[in-house]
Amino acid sequence: MYRRRVDHTDRADLARRIYDASHLTGTFTLRSGVVSHEYFDKYRFESDPQLLSDIAASCAALVPYGMDALAGLELGGVPLATMISQATRLPAVYVRKAAKTYGTCQLAEGGEIDGRRLCIVEDVVTSGGAILDAASELRARGARLGPVICVIDRESGGREKLAADDLELFPLYTMSELSAAAAGA
């Protein structure tokens, strides 16, 4: 059972605001190695306090009941997980790309993950590669993984790759939805 969607802002308006704040055109090489002429700079929507707050309130509705914690992926998933944690009152853990080699030497900071059901939080999903890497490491450390939530699904195969690894993706918006909202402005 999933949380009832309660948008704190009009969905189309929020989509336009995200698009206006973060959509760039040019030539960009994505993490997957693919070259794109469109790019969503997540730091532009994550660094705007009001926009980030509105995004987090809407993302909170995507978090299913029964989760023990939110797992924000380094780096873009960390501010999102923090803000969604405030809205849901679920604790957040912060997942590094690699375990530290000093101090606590942990992959995930902020709490235990062994045996806990985690909802992975990411900003933008393209191929899903970073999520798959993190999921493998989290599972190796005993975490039980729920769904993945993100702000933007670029609709570039990530959903399918995650599904093949038994991870369901719940995006706040797809790239198509953002483009349609911007065109309707």
- C-beta separation of 183 from 20 below 8 A: no
Which amino acid, 63?
V
Q: Tens digit of pLDDT per residue, the chain (185 long)?
A: 344 444 445 899 999 999 999 999 999 998 888 899 999 999 999 999 999 999 999 999 999 999 999 999 999 999 999 999 999 999 999 999 998 888 888 999 999 999 999 999 999 999 999 999 999 999 999 999 999 999 999 999 999 999 999 999 999 999 999 999 999 86
CA 173 vs CA 14, 46, 98, 143, 181: distances in Å: 10, 15, 28, 27, 10
Q: What domains can you pick out in the chain, each with its CATH number?
A: 11-183 (3.40.50.2020)
- C-beta separation of 55 from 39 below 8 A: no
- C-beta separation of 23 from 53 below 8 A: no
Within its chain, how far is the Cα of 182 from the centroid?
21
d(CA 15, CA 19): 6
**Exposed / middle / buried, residue 113 (Cβ in 10 Å: 0-12, 13-18, 19+):** buried
CA 46 vs CA 9, 49, 134, 149: distances in Å: 17, 7, 21, 15
Question: What pLDDT score was predicted for residue 161?
Answer: 98
Predicted TM-score (pTM) of the model is 0.92
Strand-strand pairing, 92-95 and 144-153: unpaired
